[in-house]
Amino acid sequence: MSFIGFDDSPGWGVPVPTTGDIIKDAIRKDQLVKEIVGAQEDLRALQARVKAVEADIEKLTSGNETLQMYIDNLTLQMAKRR
């Protein structure tokens, strides 16, 4: 069965034959692996930073809630004195 507009390309995981030099292909693959590993390390560092910032936000939010309660209590006390 043939579909119009679709070629008979190999599926996922099927190695695509290369016509270039084996050494050049190996060097290029090695460079790609290094780039991928570097990108993964960068993502891990960013993820750790995001977690640290989220923790800071939680602390600040909690502090803001405490301050707001304090302000509300002072406002009520001042209103009662008048």
d(CA 25, CA 16): 12
d(CA 30, CA 81): 76
| Per-residue pLDDT tens listing for the chain (82 residues) | 455 555 555 556 656 555 578 999 999 999 999 999 999 999 999 999 999 999 999 999 999 999 999 999 999 999 998 7
d(CA 27, CA 32): 9
Instruction: Please give the model's pTM, rounded to 2 decimal places.
Output: 0.57
Specify the DSSP class assigned to residue 80.
H
Which helix (H) or strand (E) covers residue 57, if one does?
helix 22-81
- Residue 18 confidence (pLDDT): 58
